[in-house]
Amino acid sequence: MELSQYLDAEGIILDDEIIGKLEGFAVLLHEWNQVHNLTGARSVAAIYDNIVDSLYPLAFIKIPKTLLDVGTGAGFPGLVLAIALPETEVVLAEPLKKRVSFLKYATMDLGLKNVKVEAKRVESVEHEAFDMISSRAVTNTKLLLDLTSRISDEHTEYLFYKGSRVFDEIAQVEGQMSYDIIQKNQRNYLYIKNET
């Protein structure tokens, strides 16, 4: 099955150029993964599933001008979102060298002008407050909010890709938050919105 069929099945509408770049990313990741073990997604079909998982929130988020992805790994969701949102300035924070090498190569190969790869842990990233901070499978919500406190402000929104523990994690965060949890299959998308 082609990527466009996966996207159509979820109602994700993207232009052909973006779909072509996403397919190019999938081929690159599949090739690199056979040597460098970057992700558990072993087939192109499994990579397509991860692409759809990364893109699904485009249906309900406010599109940011700046986005930080914490612990991008093999590109999910940060690099995938960067491909789909060419007008958004995207910073990918990833400390592991082999993943950084892949992310930098993919960014160059796909001609992504809106991406900067930071080979460091998120607490070392220097930047003005981001419009949105995303993360998938890095750490718990409270710690993510703490780790990104220097590069966020009252306007920053958060998009965290979570599993079943999201409800427990929300309970651990003190203070009032405006948020939605959007459930899809085994995924819980935690979307913390600003109050403005």
Annotated binding site: 71, 76, 122-123, 136
How far is 130 from 150, CA to CA, in rounded Å?
Answer: 10
Using alpha carbons, select from 68, 64, 66 the residue that is nearest to residue 78: 68
Per the annotation, binding residues for S-adenosyl-L-methionine are 71, 76, 122-123, 136
Q: Order of strands across the sheet with 115-118?
A: 115-118, 89-93, 66-70, 132-136, 157-162, 187-193, 178-184
CA atoms within 13 A on the CB side of 176: 3
Alpha-carbon torsion 134, 38, 119, 164, what sign? positive
- Which 8-state DSSP code applies to residue 178? E
Residue with tokens 């935690």: 190
Pairing relationship of beta strands 187-193 and 178-184 according to DSSP bridges: antiparallel
State both tokens at 184: 């899809």
Residue 77 gets which letter from DSSP? T
**Which helix (DSSP H) or strand (DSSP E) does residue 122 occupy?**
none
